[in-house]
Chains A and B, each alone.
Chain A
Amino acid sequence: MTIRRNILLGAALSALTFAVAGPVAAAGVEGKSICYITAANSHFYVTPANEGAQAAADAAGVKLTIVSEEFSPQTGADQLNSCVSRKVDGILLWPLDANSYLPGLLKAQQAGIPVVAIDTKAGEESMKLIASFVGADKYGQGQISAKQMNEALDGKGKVVIIAGQAGNNTTIMRTDGFLADKAEGIEVLATVNADFDQQKALVASRDLITKFGDQIDGVYAEDDAMAAGFLQALKESGLAIKPVILGIGGTKTAFDAINAGEMTSTILQPPYDNGRLAVETLAKVMGGETVAADVPLENTVVTKENIGGFKPVM
């Protein structure tokens, strides 16, 4: 009995010491380790994000181990478990679906390892176990695109939506944001899924152009690669129409197209900053600071008028 009381006392004392030491430790996270479970090693958006994360980790003196899910949430869930078993000090996770990470997140919570999500949100249950989300406000991107479209078409016209993967969180947010804020007079002729892939967008756009032809007043492509796919199909068709084309991302191709007057606008979503900000946020959490549940990237619209002030981010 006495022994047990002593143990309890000891535990209380060490908790007290820990509490006192807490704010001091917050000053630096140098020498700590982060496990970064990224979506892929080689991808136009993910790779620069990984580079940004690495740079921020180097700057903070944190050891960053990058493991790649190769777009498979199953792999990611296993990797998350591994990272928790390794008892790293923090985990940066790129969630690829709603629930797969739940077991690992629960284990991380038990082990007291903070988790920050990058780019994509996981399901509601999972997000409760995640300290902060760092990524673009994708619903906001949809709303901004709607505003661009409303202005360019004077609130009246027929548009097509070239969306990303069906069911993907980014796709849903960008579509819903657009539909919520588009003007009454803007009619959506068709929504197609081209999986954020230029080639698929090209094929889908050929069909759209054949089917609707000069009815198309506007095109809302949910990323620049798919906007490029539509442009290519339009050039092939030889059709003399000049629809309003909106993209998202800020690729070099989109910048060229805006300069050439072929595309109307894009929204910058800088991957490098996304990675950097995510690691910085995680480091703050590891240091004991409180951070916002949502750390959004700024959405900057690039049009022909302001393009001189910006550089492509991808």
Chain B
Amino acid sequence: MSANLRTIGNLVVRYRLLVMLAGVLIFGGFTQDDFLTLTTFQSVLDRAAVVGFLALGLTPILIAGQIDLSIGSVMSLAAYATIALQPSLGSLPAAFVGLGVGALAGAINAVIVVALKVTSLVATLATLLIGASLALLISDGQPVSSADPMFGLSLTNELLTVLSPRSALFIAAALIMFVWLRATPSGRNLYAVGSSMPAAISAGINVNGYMAGIFVLSGLCAGAAGVLQALSAATGSPLAGSALLIPAITAVVIGGTRLEGGRGSSLATLGGVIALGALTTLSEYNGIPSYTQAVYTGLILILLITLDRISGDNGGRKTRTLRRAAVKQVQQHGGTS
């Protein structure tokens, strides 16, 4: 009986995104005539792009067992810079400055976490506060309107029926990250760092280098999210990212990346973002108030994590590097006492 439950639990957890998407599609198909269309799909993907970039940046961070709370604030700063600098620099250079702001903020996080040895939770909580206030201070609390509003409008246009330029960028970034995490030694080592840092250190992995790298990457992704948001809305708002931290974390976790580290995938994040986006769109089509939507999202989170625990027999799965490290340790210490 319990074995059966565990099998079902296993299946649901493994294919959680498919289960969730199927649920959304079935419910949507029943309640709305115009839900199961390519246009809906296009609009879900398009809306997923901005929060998607935040979630992508967060994925390696969570795999390494860290957290970056500052991404929303960094996104706001990047969005504001992208638009505010347009008159003096031109639209395209300003967008690159936006990306640079993201990378710089990521580098600052990296210094605090790696060099000053502050826990990432505390470090990025501090930069979240500083970033959010800085954005408001610089902008005087006012969103700035683009001097060149047509420049970024095409980012949300239809592309190949189901995409838009910005959703295509997001999907491409997720695929590149997938290849990096799965098919390169550096990507695989990241899982080792997240599973057990001492073991990773003794296996000779440059843990500090990885930590610094993922924080810069996360900042860069948040910068990209800010640039995309600002250009497609022709507005640089100092609050652009303030409400997106929680949806981004939720999307990554629903995808199956663990907050404890050592497990996760960028494709799972892609799926998580799309599943959440589809749920939001479905709720909107049905006129379900947004606070009710948040209740559903919360319940889905609890359900998924609980199922994950019930069927959590693969939690101990380790990477090759870690197994080697464990063996090495055992040899050095002469076995368990």
* A interface residue numbers (CB < 8 A to B): 41-42, 64-68, 70, 72-75, 77-79, 81-82, 85-87, 97-100, 102-103, 106-107, 123, 125, 166-167
Contacts and interface: CB of A to CB of B under 8 A. Distances in A.
A86 B235 contact: no
B145 A123 contact: yes
A66 B50 CA distance: 23
B335 interface: no
A234 B187 CA distance: 64
Contacts of B286: 65
Contacts of A42: 289, 291
Q: What is the size category of the interface that chain B forms with chain A?
A: 20 to 34
Contact of A100 (B40, B46, B140, B237): B237
A85 B39 contact: yes
Given A100-B237, A103-B156, A123-B145, A86 B285 contact: yes
Interface in B131-154: 140-143, 145-146, 149, 153
Interface stretch (B92-100, B226-234, B300-308): B226-234
Contact of A85 (B43, B143, B289): B43
Contacts of A85: 39-40, 42-43
B206 interface: no
Max chain A C-beta neighbours (<10 A), residue from B143, B149, B233: B233
25 contacts: A41-B289, A67-B290, A68-B289, A70-B243, A74-B243, A75-B243, A77-B233, A81-B43, A82-B47, A82-B284, A85-B39, A85-B42, A86-B34, A86-B43, A99-B145, A99-B149, A99-B235, A100-B143, A100-B237, A102-B233, A103-B153, A103-B156, A103-B234, A125-B149, A167-B142
9 residue pairs, one from A and one from B, having the closest CB atoms: A99-B145, A41-B289, A85-B43, A100-B233, A167-B142, A67-B284, A85-B39, A99-B235, A100-B235
Interface in B263-293: 281, 284-287, 289-291
A255 to B, nearest CB: 29
Given A72-B239, A82-B281, A100 B141 contact: no
B81 interface: no
A73 B290 contact: no
Nearest to A67: B284
A39 to B, nearest CB: 11
Contacts of A106: 153
B250 to A, nearest CB: 15
Contacts of A166: 140-142
A284 to B, nearest CB: 23
Given A74-B233, A82-B281, A106-B153, A65 B34 contact: no
A67 B141 contact: no
Given A42-B291, A74-B233, A166-B141, 5 more contacts: A85-B43, A98-B145, A100-B237, A102-B234, A167-B141
Contacts of A78: 46-47
A99 B237 CA distance: 10
